[in-house]
Amino acid sequence: MHKINAMTVDVEDYFQVAALEPYIEKAYWDSLPHRVERNTHRILDLFASRQIKATFFTLGWVAERYPALIKRIVVEGHELACHGYAHQRVTELSPAQFRADISKAKKILQDIGGIQVKGYRAPTYSIGAKNLWALDVLLEEGFKYSSSIYPVKHDLYGMPEAPRFMFEPIANHDFKEIPITTLKLGHKNWPCGGGGFFRFYPYALSKWAFQQVNDKDQQAGVFYFHPWEIDPKQPKQQGLSLKAKTRHYLNLHKMEARISRLLTDFQWDTMEKVFLK
């Protein structure tokens, strides 16, 4: 019996990512060419062709501008979940600001989608050891789970000491934290759940690592990617540092074919179906 894993998409546009934060001010977002709607429809088409359901962690900012996209996600049987309103990292928010952000985003998503939003993922996995209070706020605001802690060491995020698999972080409450998948080699957790790492590693290595989690650890995995990652023709930003340029543009032309293989090589469903049975 093969493990069923959770396929997730972080619905944000190319200009909203952390690597480009220092170069593009939020005030200019609406003046830039938007590509998130078209790219997300392409992902929905791909999933439909494979009869795969996924969880779409969506920005309130995107939902406001593309309500028909949100409705399609729900109508086609995917799970609609929350990614905050405008991709602000939780590390930059006070508890009151965080509460306002998730409450606003959740209301927008629920009003458009006509469903209850149960899941949340922090922009740039920005919940960790220094702001675990955010999980209490999520519980108080009616969320059932978070997928915001990445148990790796990284310059932008990470809580390497966190559990690698689903856990209940708040005593006496049925609230789950469901980390992005990692592979333990030696004393270190290696990322194998998507994003830039999936574009960087050869596909065979990513596949092997995910299989280890399913077969050896006997655990369901969580994979994520972004609509802009299947879009090599997105507008190129000028003046980026080498690190930002590499992080954002590396192997974009290979991503869609790799996702296609991944959909065939493993079994997939939504976060809710895999983890909240």
* Mean of all residue pLDDT scores within the chain: 96
- pTM, full prediction: 0.97
| Residue 208, φ and ψ in degrees, nearest 5 | -60, -45
Percent of the chain with pLDDT over 70: 99
Q: Name the residue type at position 121.
A: R
Q: What confidence category does residue 276 fall into, taking pLDDT thresholds of 50, 70 and 90?
A: very high
In this prediction, residue 125 carries a pLDDT of: 95
Which domains are present in the chain?
4-13+34-237+250-275 (3.20.20.370)
pLDDT at 156 over 80: no
Residues 81-110 have pLDDT tens digits of 999 999 999 999 999 999 999 999 999 999
> What pLDDT, on the 0 to 100 scale, is given for residue 1?
60
**What pLDDT score was predicted for residue 157?**
77
